[in-house]
Structure 1
Protein backbone atom coordinates (compact mmCIF):
# COMPACT_ATOMS: atom_id res chain seq x y z
CA UNK A 1 0.00 0.00 0.00
CA UNK A 2 1.22 3.55 -0.62
CA UNK A 3 2.75 5.32 2.36
CA UNK A 4 -0.11 7.84 2.38
CA UNK A 5 -2.72 5.11 2.56
CA UNK A 6 -1.14 2.26 4.54
CA UNK A 7 -2.63 1.66 7.97
CA UNK A 8 -0.19 -0.05 10.37
CA UNK A 9 -3.02 -1.62 12.35
CA UNK A 10 -4.42 -3.20 9.17
CA UNK A 11 -1.01 -4.57 8.19
CA UNK A 12 -0.51 -6.05 11.65
CA UNK A 13 -4.00 -7.56 11.60
CA UNK A 14 -3.33 -9.60 8.48
CA UNK A 15 0.26 -10.41 9.43
CA UNK A 16 -1.13 -12.06 12.56
CA UNK A 17 -3.22 -14.40 10.39
CA UNK A 18 -0.26 -15.56 8.28
CA UNK A 19 0.18 -18.95 9.94
CA UNK A 20 -3.42 -19.97 9.18
CA UNK A 21 -3.85 -18.20 5.83
CA UNK A 22 -3.74 -21.44 3.84
CA UNK A 23 -6.09 -23.34 6.16
CA UNK A 24 -9.31 -23.65 4.10
CA UNK A 25 -11.34 -23.93 7.30
CA UNK A 26 -9.43 -21.22 9.19
CA UNK A 27 -9.98 -17.48 9.48
CA UNK A 28 -9.48 -17.01 5.74
CA UNK A 29 -12.12 -19.60 4.80
CA UNK A 30 -14.40 -17.04 3.08
CA UNK A 31 -11.52 -15.96 0.82
CA UNK A 32 -10.70 -19.59 -0.03
CA UNK A 33 -14.30 -20.13 -1.11
CA UNK A 34 -14.55 -16.86 -3.02
CA UNK A 35 -11.16 -17.10 -4.70
CA UNK A 36 -12.03 -19.44 -7.63
CA UNK A 37 -14.81 -17.11 -8.76
CA UNK A 38 -12.67 -13.98 -8.41
CA UNK A 39 -9.73 -15.40 -10.33
CA UNK A 40 -11.82 -16.96 -13.13
CA UNK A 41 -13.65 -13.66 -13.55
CA UNK A 42 -10.34 -11.81 -13.82
CA UNK A 43 -8.68 -14.36 -16.09
CA UNK A 44 -11.51 -14.55 -18.63
CA UNK A 45 -11.68 -10.77 -19.02
CA UNK A 46 -7.95 -10.25 -19.15
CA UNK A 47 -7.53 -13.08 -21.67
CA UNK A 48 -10.30 -11.63 -23.85
CA UNK A 49 -8.67 -8.18 -23.72
CA UNK A 50 -5.57 -9.78 -25.24
CA UNK A 51 -7.49 -11.68 -27.91
CA UNK A 52 -7.31 -15.03 -26.15
CA UNK A 53 -9.91 -17.58 -25.22
CA UNK A 54 -10.81 -19.02 -21.85
CA UNK A 55 -8.41 -18.24 -19.01
CA UNK A 56 -5.17 -18.20 -21.02
CA UNK A 57 -2.87 -15.70 -19.30
CA UNK A 58 0.38 -17.22 -20.56
CA UNK A 59 3.20 -14.68 -20.30
CA UNK A 60 1.06 -11.75 -19.15
CA UNK A 61 2.47 -9.77 -16.24
CA UNK A 62 0.20 -9.28 -13.22
CA UNK A 63 0.83 -7.37 -10.00
CA UNK A 64 -1.19 -8.68 -7.04
CA UNK A 65 -1.30 -5.79 -4.54
CA UNK A 66 -2.09 -6.75 -0.97
CA UNK A 67 -1.43 -10.36 -1.90
CA UNK A 68 -1.18 -11.63 1.68
CA UNK A 69 -0.09 -15.27 1.68
CA UNK A 70 -0.82 -15.64 -2.02
CA UNK A 71 -4.29 -17.11 -2.62
CA UNK A 72 -4.95 -15.08 -5.78
CA UNK A 73 -1.29 -14.95 -6.82
CA UNK A 74 -1.10 -18.73 -7.01
CA UNK A 75 -4.38 -19.07 -8.91
CA UNK A 76 -3.32 -16.48 -11.50
CA UNK A 77 0.10 -18.12 -11.85
CA UNK A 78 -1.62 -21.43 -12.59
CA UNK A 79 -3.40 -19.68 -15.49
CA UNK A 80 0.06 -18.95 -16.93
CA UNK A 81 0.61 -15.36 -15.78
CA UNK A 82 3.94 -13.99 -14.58
CA UNK A 83 2.84 -12.85 -11.13
CA UNK A 84 4.44 -10.37 -8.77
CA UNK A 85 2.87 -10.41 -5.31
CA UNK A 86 3.22 -7.21 -3.29
CA UNK A 87 2.34 -6.66 0.36
CA UNK A 88 3.49 -4.62 3.34
CA UNK A 89 2.93 -7.56 5.70
CA UNK A 90 6.24 -9.39 5.88
CA UNK A 91 5.04 -12.41 7.85
CA UNK A 92 2.25 -13.07 5.36
CA UNK A 93 4.77 -12.85 2.52
CA UNK A 94 6.99 -15.45 4.20
CA UNK A 95 3.99 -17.79 4.23
CA UNK A 96 3.34 -16.96 0.57
CA UNK A 97 6.90 -17.79 -0.48
CA UNK A 98 6.92 -21.07 1.42
CA UNK A 99 3.57 -22.19 -0.03
CA UNK A 100 4.51 -21.28 -3.61
CA UNK A 101 7.82 -23.11 -3.32
CA UNK A 102 6.09 -26.21 -1.97
CA UNK A 103 3.71 -26.10 -4.93
CA UNK A 104 6.45 -25.61 -7.52
CA UNK A 105 5.23 -22.14 -8.50
CA UNK A 106 7.53 -19.28 -9.49
CA UNK A 107 6.01 -16.09 -8.03
CA UNK A 108 8.01 -12.93 -7.34
CA UNK A 109 6.89 -11.89 -3.86
CA UNK A 110 8.02 -8.47 -2.70
CA UNK A 111 7.52 -6.51 0.49
CA UNK A 112 6.58 -2.95 -0.32
CA UNK A 113 4.09 -0.62 -1.95
CA UNK A 114 3.03 0.15 -5.54
CA UNK A 115 4.98 3.42 -5.64
CA UNK A 116 8.13 1.51 -4.75
CA UNK A 117 7.77 -0.37 -8.03
CA UNK A 118 6.74 2.73 -9.94
CA UNK A 119 9.92 4.49 -8.84
CA UNK A 120 11.87 1.82 -10.69
CA UNK A 121 9.69 2.16 -13.78
CA UNK A 122 7.93 -1.19 -13.36
CA UNK A 123 4.67 -1.61 -15.25
CA UNK A 124 2.31 -4.54 -15.66
CA UNK A 125 -0.35 -5.79 -18.07
CA UNK A 126 -2.77 -6.02 -15.16
CA UNK A 127 -3.00 -5.10 -11.49
CA UNK A 128 -5.29 -6.84 -9.02
CA UNK A 129 -6.18 -5.68 -5.51
CA UNK A 130 -8.71 -8.04 -3.97
CA UNK A 131 -10.39 -7.23 -0.65
CA UNK A 132 -7.77 -4.51 -0.12
CA UNK A 133 -9.25 -1.11 -0.91
CA UNK A 134 -11.62 -1.22 2.09
CA UNK A 135 -8.53 -1.38 4.32
CA UNK A 136 -6.72 1.76 3.12
CA UNK A 137 -7.03 5.27 4.51
CA UNK A 138 -6.87 7.19 1.21
CA UNK A 139 -8.62 5.44 -1.68
CA UNK A 140 -7.85 8.08 -4.36
CA UNK A 141 -4.12 7.98 -3.54
CA UNK A 142 -4.19 4.19 -3.56
CA UNK A 143 -5.92 4.09 -6.95
CA UNK A 144 -3.45 6.61 -8.32
CA UNK A 145 -0.56 4.39 -7.27
CA UNK A 146 -2.16 1.37 -8.92
CA UNK A 147 -2.72 3.31 -12.15
CA UNK A 148 0.94 4.35 -12.19
CA UNK A 149 2.18 0.75 -12.37
CA UNK A 150 -0.29 -0.21 -15.13
CA UNK A 151 0.81 -0.20 -18.76
CA UNK A 152 -1.26 2.03 -21.08
CA UNK A 153 -4.36 0.02 -21.94
CA UNK A 154 -3.71 -2.27 -18.96
CA UNK A 155 -6.48 -3.53 -16.71
CA UNK A 156 -7.11 -3.09 -13.00
CA UNK A 157 -9.27 -5.55 -11.08
CA UNK A 158 -10.68 -4.72 -7.65
CA UNK A 159 -13.01 -6.67 -5.38
CA UNK A 160 -14.49 -5.11 -2.28
CA UNK A 161 -17.60 -4.60 -0.14
CA UNK A 162 -20.42 -2.17 -0.80
CA UNK A 163 -21.37 0.27 1.94
CA UNK A 164 -25.00 -0.72 2.33
CA UNK A 165 -27.17 -1.79 5.27
CA UNK A 166 -27.19 -5.31 3.86
CA UNK A 167 -23.39 -5.40 3.73
CA UNK A 168 -23.28 -4.24 7.35
CA UNK A 169 -25.71 -6.99 8.33
CA UNK A 170 -24.08 -9.84 6.40
CA UNK A 171 -20.39 -8.92 5.99
CA UNK A 172 -19.89 -7.26 9.36
CA UNK A 173 -22.38 -8.49 11.95
CA UNK A 174 -23.12 -11.86 10.34
CA UNK A 175 -19.64 -12.89 9.24
CA UNK A 176 -17.70 -11.56 12.24
CA UNK A 177 -20.10 -11.81 15.19
CA UNK A 178 -22.89 -14.29 14.48
CA UNK A 179 -21.34 -16.94 12.22
CA UNK A 180 -17.73 -16.13 13.21
CA UNK A 181 -16.53 -16.74 9.65
CA UNK A 182 -13.97 -13.92 10.10
CA UNK A 183 -12.08 -12.64 13.13
CA UNK A 184 -13.88 -9.81 14.90
CA UNK A 185 -12.60 -6.45 13.73
CA UNK A 186 -11.64 -7.66 10.25
CA UNK A 187 -13.74 -4.93 8.63
CA UNK A 188 -14.78 -1.38 9.37
CA UNK A 189 -18.12 -0.83 7.63
CA UNK A 190 -17.40 2.90 7.35
CA UNK A 191 -14.52 2.05 5.00
CA UNK A 192 -16.67 0.02 2.60
CA UNK A 193 -17.01 1.72 -0.79
CA UNK A 194 -19.98 2.02 -3.14
CA UNK A 195 -19.59 1.27 -6.86
CA UNK A 196 -20.42 4.90 -7.64
CA UNK A 197 -17.65 6.17 -5.36
CA UNK A 198 -15.19 3.68 -6.77
CA UNK A 199 -16.09 4.60 -10.35
CA UNK A 200 -15.63 8.31 -9.70
CA UNK A 201 -12.30 7.84 -7.93
CA UNK A 202 -11.10 5.48 -10.66
CA UNK A 203 -11.88 8.05 -13.38
CA UNK A 204 -9.87 10.67 -11.51
CA UNK A 205 -6.93 8.25 -11.54
CA UNK A 206 -7.22 7.79 -15.33
CA UNK A 207 -9.07 4.48 -15.12
CA UNK A 208 -12.38 3.63 -16.80
CA UNK A 209 -14.64 1.01 -15.25
CA UNK A 210 -15.63 -1.43 -18.00
CA UNK A 211 -17.26 -4.29 -16.08
CA UNK A 212 -18.78 -4.98 -12.68
CA UNK A 213 -20.42 -8.01 -11.08
CA UNK A 214 -21.74 -9.02 -7.72
CA UNK A 215 -20.43 -12.08 -5.90
CA UNK A 216 -22.85 -14.03 -3.74
CA UNK A 217 -22.40 -17.16 -1.61
CA UNK A 218 -24.31 -20.34 -2.44
CA UNK A 219 -24.52 -23.83 -0.93
CA UNK A 220 -24.39 -22.45 2.57
CA UNK A 221 -21.37 -20.29 1.77
CA UNK A 222 -19.26 -23.19 0.50
CA UNK A 223 -19.22 -21.79 -3.03
CA UNK A 224 -19.72 -18.42 -4.72
CA UNK A 225 -21.34 -17.37 -7.97
CA UNK A 226 -21.46 -14.27 -10.13
CA UNK A 227 -24.58 -12.13 -9.75
CA UNK A 228 -26.10 -8.82 -10.76
CA UNK A 229 -26.56 -8.12 -7.07
CA UNK A 230 -23.72 -5.81 -5.96
CA UNK A 231 -25.23 -4.91 -2.58
CA UNK A 232 -22.60 -6.80 -0.56
CA UNK A 233 -19.54 -8.20 -2.39
CA UNK A 234 -18.63 -7.03 -5.87
CA UNK A 235 -15.75 -7.09 -8.36
CA UNK A 236 -14.78 -4.43 -10.88
CA UNK A 237 -12.63 -4.29 -14.02
CA UNK A 238 -11.19 -0.95 -15.15
CA UNK A 239 -8.95 -0.02 -18.06
CA UNK A 240 -6.16 2.56 -18.08
CA UNK A 241 -6.88 5.01 -20.90
Structure 2
Protein backbone atom coordinates (compact mmCIF):
# COMPACT_ATOMS: atom_id res chain seq x y z
CA UNK A 1 0.00 0.00 0.00
CA UNK A 2 1.14 3.55 -0.75
CA UNK A 3 0.12 6.81 0.88
CA UNK A 4 -0.60 8.45 -2.45
CA UNK A 5 -3.09 7.61 -5.17
CA UNK A 6 -0.92 8.95 -8.00
CA UNK A 7 0.33 6.43 -10.54
CA UNK A 8 3.16 8.14 -12.42
CA UNK A 9 2.86 5.93 -15.49
CA UNK A 10 -0.85 6.73 -15.81
CA UNK A 11 -0.17 10.46 -15.39
CA UNK A 12 2.44 10.29 -18.14
CA UNK A 13 -0.07 8.70 -20.54
CA UNK A 14 -2.56 11.52 -20.16
CA UNK A 15 0.08 14.26 -20.11
CA UNK A 16 1.29 13.04 -23.50
CA UNK A 17 -2.24 13.50 -24.91
CA UNK A 18 -3.06 16.77 -23.11
CA UNK A 19 -3.08 18.96 -26.22
CA UNK A 20 -5.94 16.82 -27.60
CA UNK A 21 -8.46 17.46 -24.82
CA UNK A 22 -10.69 19.92 -26.69
CA UNK A 23 -10.48 18.28 -30.10
CA UNK A 24 -13.82 16.43 -30.49
CA UNK A 25 -12.28 14.20 -33.16
CA UNK A 26 -8.96 13.64 -31.37
CA UNK A 27 -7.73 11.13 -28.83
CA UNK A 28 -10.43 12.10 -26.34
CA UNK A 29 -13.29 11.72 -28.82
CA UNK A 30 -14.87 8.94 -26.70
CA UNK A 31 -15.13 11.30 -23.71
CA UNK A 32 -16.72 14.01 -25.86
CA UNK A 33 -19.26 11.41 -27.00
CA UNK A 34 -19.74 10.25 -23.40
CA UNK A 35 -20.37 13.73 -22.00
CA UNK A 36 -24.10 14.15 -22.78
CA UNK A 37 -25.15 10.99 -20.91
CA UNK A 38 -22.88 11.84 -17.96
CA UNK A 39 -24.15 15.43 -17.77
CA UNK A 40 -27.76 14.29 -17.99
CA UNK A 41 -27.30 11.95 -15.03
CA UNK A 42 -25.46 14.61 -13.00
CA UNK A 43 -28.06 17.28 -13.76
CA UNK A 44 -31.00 15.02 -12.90
CA UNK A 45 -29.57 14.11 -9.50
CA UNK A 46 -28.43 17.62 -8.58
CA UNK A 47 -31.90 19.02 -9.35
CA UNK A 48 -33.58 16.35 -7.23
CA UNK A 49 -31.10 16.36 -4.33
CA UNK A 50 -31.05 20.11 -3.87
CA UNK A 51 -34.60 20.94 -4.98
CA UNK A 52 -33.51 23.10 -7.90
CA UNK A 53 -35.65 24.37 -10.80
CA UNK A 54 -34.42 22.82 -14.03
CA UNK A 55 -36.18 25.43 -16.19
CA UNK A 56 -33.88 28.31 -15.20
CA UNK A 57 -30.62 29.16 -16.95
CA UNK A 58 -28.32 28.56 -13.96
CA UNK A 59 -30.06 26.05 -11.70
CA UNK A 60 -26.90 25.16 -9.74
CA UNK A 61 -26.07 28.66 -8.52
CA UNK A 62 -24.47 28.38 -5.08
CA UNK A 63 -23.65 24.68 -5.32
CA UNK A 64 -20.01 23.58 -5.11
CA UNK A 65 -18.72 20.78 -7.34
CA UNK A 66 -15.27 19.21 -7.56
CA UNK A 67 -14.25 17.12 -10.58
CA UNK A 68 -11.45 14.78 -9.49
CA UNK A 69 -9.18 13.93 -12.42
CA UNK A 70 -10.78 16.68 -14.48
CA UNK A 71 -8.43 16.40 -17.46
CA UNK A 72 -8.97 19.35 -19.78
CA UNK A 73 -12.24 20.36 -18.12
CA UNK A 74 -14.82 18.70 -20.35
CA UNK A 75 -17.27 18.33 -17.45
CA UNK A 76 -16.19 21.40 -15.50
CA UNK A 77 -17.13 23.91 -18.18
CA UNK A 78 -20.77 22.90 -18.78
CA UNK A 79 -21.37 22.67 -15.02
CA UNK A 80 -19.91 26.15 -14.53
CA UNK A 81 -22.27 27.43 -17.24
CA UNK A 82 -25.14 25.95 -15.25
CA UNK A 83 -24.14 28.14 -12.31
CA UNK A 84 -22.12 25.80 -10.12
CA UNK A 85 -18.94 26.89 -8.35
CA UNK A 86 -16.56 24.38 -9.93
CA UNK A 87 -13.17 23.14 -8.81
CA UNK A 88 -11.25 20.90 -11.19
CA UNK A 89 -8.26 18.93 -9.93
CA UNK A 90 -5.81 16.71 -11.77
CA UNK A 91 -2.43 15.24 -10.86
CA UNK A 92 -1.15 16.02 -14.37
CA UNK A 93 -0.03 19.66 -14.44
CA UNK A 94 -0.26 19.79 -18.24
CA UNK A 95 -3.94 18.89 -18.11
CA UNK A 96 -4.57 21.73 -15.65
CA UNK A 97 -2.66 24.19 -17.85
CA UNK A 98 -4.81 23.24 -20.87
CA UNK A 99 -8.00 23.45 -18.77
CA UNK A 100 -7.12 26.92 -17.46
CA UNK A 101 -6.41 28.29 -20.92
CA UNK A 102 -9.65 26.91 -22.37
CA UNK A 103 -11.76 28.22 -19.46
CA UNK A 104 -10.21 31.67 -19.82
CA UNK A 105 -10.92 31.66 -23.57
CA UNK A 106 -14.50 30.62 -22.77
CA UNK A 107 -14.98 33.37 -20.18
CA UNK A 108 -15.52 30.90 -17.34
CA UNK A 109 -14.29 31.19 -13.75
CA UNK A 110 -13.20 27.67 -12.73
CA UNK A 111 -10.78 26.89 -9.92
CA UNK A 112 -8.28 24.51 -11.53
CA UNK A 113 -5.54 22.99 -9.38
CA UNK A 114 -2.76 20.48 -9.99
CA UNK A 115 -3.39 18.42 -6.87
CA UNK A 116 -4.98 15.20 -5.59
CA UNK A 117 -8.17 14.20 -3.83
CA UNK A 118 -6.25 13.16 -0.72
CA UNK A 119 -4.59 16.59 -0.52
CA UNK A 120 -7.96 18.35 -0.73
CA UNK A 121 -9.45 16.01 1.88
CA UNK A 122 -6.50 16.57 4.22
CA UNK A 123 -7.04 20.33 3.87
CA UNK A 124 -10.64 19.90 5.03
CA UNK A 125 -12.29 20.98 1.79
CA UNK A 126 -15.88 19.81 1.24
CA UNK A 127 -18.27 20.01 -1.71
CA UNK A 128 -21.93 19.53 -2.55
CA UNK A 129 -20.96 17.10 -5.30
CA UNK A 130 -17.82 15.09 -5.99
CA UNK A 131 -17.30 13.76 -9.52
CA UNK A 132 -15.12 10.67 -9.66
CA UNK A 133 -15.36 9.95 -13.37
CA UNK A 134 -13.26 7.29 -15.13
CA UNK A 135 -10.40 7.84 -12.67
CA UNK A 136 -10.51 4.93 -10.22
CA UNK A 137 -9.14 2.51 -12.84
CA UNK A 138 -6.03 4.70 -13.24
CA UNK A 139 -4.96 5.26 -9.62
CA UNK A 140 -2.78 3.45 -7.12
CA UNK A 141 -4.18 2.53 -3.70
CA UNK A 142 -7.86 2.41 -4.65
CA UNK A 143 -9.13 2.26 -1.02
CA UNK A 144 -7.27 5.48 -0.16
CA UNK A 145 -8.50 7.15 -3.34
CA UNK A 146 -12.14 6.26 -2.70
CA UNK A 147 -11.86 7.33 0.95
CA UNK A 148 -10.41 10.68 -0.04
CA UNK A 149 -13.20 11.27 -2.57
CA UNK A 150 -15.87 10.31 -0.04
CA UNK A 151 -14.29 12.59 2.57
CA UNK A 152 -14.81 15.53 0.20
CA UNK A 153 -18.61 15.12 0.25
CA UNK A 154 -20.56 17.48 2.50
CA UNK A 155 -23.42 16.10 4.60
CA UNK A 156 -26.39 15.91 2.23
CA UNK A 157 -24.02 15.97 -0.74
CA UNK A 158 -23.45 13.54 -3.61
CA UNK A 159 -20.62 11.55 -5.15
CA UNK A 160 -20.79 10.07 -8.63
CA UNK A 161 -18.37 7.28 -9.54
CA UNK A 162 -18.09 6.18 -13.17
CA UNK A 163 -15.78 3.41 -14.33
CA UNK A 164 -15.54 0.15 -16.29
CA UNK A 165 -16.57 -3.26 -15.00
CA UNK A 166 -14.04 -6.08 -14.73
CA UNK A 167 -15.83 -8.50 -17.03
CA UNK A 168 -14.74 -10.50 -20.05
CA UNK A 169 -17.05 -8.35 -22.19
CA UNK A 170 -15.29 -5.23 -20.93
CA UNK A 171 -11.91 -6.72 -21.77
CA UNK A 172 -13.13 -7.53 -25.28
CA UNK A 173 -14.94 -4.25 -25.96
CA UNK A 174 -13.56 -1.51 -23.68
CA UNK A 175 -9.94 -2.59 -24.09
CA UNK A 176 -9.30 -4.73 -27.19
CA UNK A 177 -11.96 -3.34 -29.53
CA UNK A 178 -11.77 0.28 -28.36
CA UNK A 179 -7.98 0.42 -28.51
CA UNK A 180 -6.99 -2.00 -31.29
CA UNK A 181 -9.98 -2.32 -33.62
CA UNK A 182 -12.01 0.92 -33.46
CA UNK A 183 -8.94 3.00 -32.49
CA UNK A 184 -11.08 5.09 -30.14
CA UNK A 185 -8.25 5.16 -27.59
CA UNK A 186 -4.46 4.83 -27.74
CA UNK A 187 -3.22 1.28 -27.11
CA UNK A 188 -2.44 0.85 -23.41
CA UNK A 189 -4.95 3.40 -22.13
CA UNK A 190 -6.64 0.79 -19.95
CA UNK A 191 -5.47 -2.21 -17.92
CA UNK A 192 -8.33 -4.67 -17.50
CA UNK A 193 -6.83 -5.93 -14.23
CA UNK A 194 -7.35 -2.49 -12.66
CA UNK A 195 -11.08 -2.38 -13.43
CA UNK A 196 -13.50 -2.68 -10.49
CA UNK A 197 -16.87 -4.38 -10.32
CA UNK A 198 -19.99 -2.53 -9.15
CA UNK A 199 -19.95 -4.68 -6.00
CA UNK A 200 -16.41 -3.53 -5.19
CA UNK A 201 -17.31 0.12 -5.76
CA UNK A 202 -20.46 -0.18 -3.62
CA UNK A 203 -18.40 -1.71 -0.80
CA UNK A 204 -15.89 1.15 -0.92
CA UNK A 205 -18.70 3.72 -0.98
CA UNK A 206 -20.57 2.32 2.00
CA UNK A 207 -17.36 1.70 3.96
CA UNK A 208 -16.74 5.44 3.82
CA UNK A 209 -20.11 6.54 5.18
CA UNK A 210 -22.02 7.14 1.95
CA UNK A 211 -25.22 5.48 0.75
CA UNK A 212 -25.81 4.30 -2.83
CA UNK A 213 -28.91 5.98 -4.24
CA UNK A 214 -28.85 5.11 -7.94
CA UNK A 215 -26.83 3.24 -10.53
CA UNK A 216 -26.92 2.75 -14.27
CA UNK A 217 -25.04 1.09 -17.06
CA UNK A 218 -23.94 3.11 -20.08
CA UNK A 219 -23.91 1.50 -23.53
CA UNK A 220 -22.92 2.66 -26.99
CA UNK A 221 -25.53 2.69 -29.76
CA UNK A 222 -23.57 2.58 -33.04
CA UNK A 223 -26.44 3.50 -35.37
CA UNK A 224 -27.18 6.66 -33.39
CA UNK A 225 -23.46 7.16 -32.61
CA UNK A 226 -24.27 7.99 -29.00
CA UNK A 227 -24.04 6.62 -25.48
CA UNK A 228 -27.22 5.94 -23.51
CA UNK A 229 -28.14 4.77 -20.03
CA UNK A 230 -28.94 1.07 -19.71
CA UNK A 231 -29.78 -1.59 -17.18
CA UNK A 232 -26.68 -3.42 -18.44
CA UNK A 233 -23.74 -2.59 -16.14
CA UNK A 234 -21.47 -5.21 -17.71
CA UNK A 235 -19.10 -2.69 -19.29
CA UNK A 236 -19.42 1.02 -18.44
CA UNK A 237 -21.42 2.05 -15.38
CA UNK A 238 -22.12 4.93 -12.98
CA UNK A 239 -23.01 4.78 -9.29
CA UNK A 240 -24.51 7.73 -7.41
CA UNK A 241 -24.16 7.99 -3.63
CA UNK A 242 -25.01 10.52 -0.94
CA UNK A 243 -23.65 11.39 2.47
CA UNK A 244 -26.61 11.47 4.88
CA UNK A 245 -27.30 14.96 6.17
| TM-score computed with the length of structure 1 as normaliser | 0.95
Give me the whole-angstrom Cα distance separating, in 2, the residues matched to 1:139 and 1:221.
35
Q: Aligned partners of 2:151, 2:47: CA distance in 1, in Å? A: 22
Q: Secondary structure at the match of 1:181?
A: coil
Give the Cα–Cα distance (whole angstroms) in 2 for the partners of residues 29 and 79 of structure 1: 23
For 1:195 and 1:79, the matched residues in 2 are separated by 30
Number of positions where the alignment pairs a residue of Structure 1 with one of Structure 2? 240
Shift of 1:3: 4.8
**Do the aligned residues in 1 keep the contact of 2:166 with 2:193 (CA within 8 Å)?**
yes
Scaled by the length of structure 2, what TM-score is found?
Answer: 0.94
Q: Which residue of 2 aligns with 1:10?
A: 10
CA distance in 2, matches of 1:169, 1:120: 41
Residue 38 of structure 1 is matched in structure 2 by 38
**Alpha-carbon separation, structure 1, partners of 2:123 and 2:164:** 32
Answer whether contact 1:114 1:146 (CA < 8 A) is retained. yes
The list of structure 1 runs, each at least 4 consecutive aligned residues, that deviate by more than 4 angstroms after superposition, is none
Structure 1 residues 104, 114: CA separation in 2 closer, same or farther (over 3 Å shift)?
same
Q: Are the equivalent residues in 2 in contact too, given 1:140–1:205 (CA < 8 A)?
A: no
Deviation at 1:219, TM superposition (A): 3.6
SS for the counterpart of 1:71 is coil
Contact 1:216–1:233 (Cα < 8 Å) also in 2: yes
Q: Deviations over 1:132-173 (max 9, x none)?
A: 011112221111101211111210011100111111111000
2:233 aligned with 1:227: no
Structure 2 counterpart of 1:115, from 118, 128, 139: 118
Aligned-partner Cα distance in 1 for 2:138–2:151: 20
C-alpha deviations, 1:112-138, integer Å up to 9, x for none?
112222233211101001110111122
Aligned CA-pair RMSD? 1.5
